[in-house]
Homo-oligomer: A and B are copies of this chain.
Amino acid sequence: MKANNIRLALAYDGSCYHGWQRQKNAITIQGTIEEKIEMMTGDPVRLIGSGRTDAGVHAVKQVCNFMTHSTIAPEAIREGLNALLPEDIFVREADYVPLEFHARYGARSKTYVYKILNRREPDIFRRHFLWHVRVPLDPREMSLCLAQLKGTHDFSCFRSSGSGNIDPVRRILRSELCDSADGSMDVILEADGFLRHMVRNVVGTLVEVGMGKIGVDGFSEILASRDRRLAGMKAPAHGLYLADVSY
């Protein structure tokens, strides 16, 4: 029987999930979608994501793929999954891809957006979707630090423990601070890969820069130190979005 390789592009609100990766006794994005694909195709399936997202982290565009013997057309899979899935997961796109397409190994870069609401009053309607920082932040200082991240660096200082012995060198293709149309201050990071909690550790340190606790030179020293203990706090999960994956 001929196998098909189907690529999905997903959006999800990660608030109610224990992250992307399937776990035995916890509800995860991967596990939830696999279950619905199995309901549709009748066969066990293994969904390959471009990477994991942590508990509470959202996705505007997560890319994944799965092999199936089912002949259900991608558009019908998209519609069917959207009918079956809870309303906090949405399949934006579904299409056939070549058999060799692999959502994780094929990814050239990933873009994360971290949304900060920097004002006195919270936005109760978006309390699960951005990090509310009441203290006024200096965007100029933060941008100067972000600019330092561009290029290839050893990011050990921004890596949380528990990520194993993998190479801590990553190449940052884009690192910017943007004023979003919806009123938030967005940190945008595109890289060929990310270490564990890297974006949240960068953003937490940047916020300390914005508060004046760490200077631009201090930030350079942290990056050069490769020492996690020197960097700032870890930003909370709920401001973080996987925004795009390039192949």
Copies of this chain in its oligomeric complex: 2
Contact of B125 with A129 in the complex, beta carbons under 8 Å: yes
**Chain B residues, Cβ within 8 Å of A92:** 121
CA distance A89 to B11 in the complex (A): 27
Quick check: is A58 within 8 A (CB to CB) of the other chain? yes
**Chain B residues, Cβ within 8 Å of A58:** 125
A13-B125, A89-B124 known, 15 other contacts, Cβ within 8 Å: A11-B124, A12-B124, A13-B127, A58-B125, A87-B122, A87-B124, A87-B127, A88-B124, A88-B127, A90-B121, A90-B122, A90-B124, A92-B121, A125-B129, A181-B182
A residues bordering B, Cβ < 8 Å? 11-13, 58, 87-90, 92, 121-122, 124-127, 129, 181-182
21 A-B pairs with C-beta separation under 8 A: A11-B124, A12-B124, A13-B124, A13-B125, A13-B127, A58-B125, A87-B122, A87-B124, A87-B127, A88-B124, A88-B127, A89-B124, A90-B121, A90-B122, A90-B124, A92-B121, A125-B126, A125-B129, A181-B181, A181-B182, A182-B182
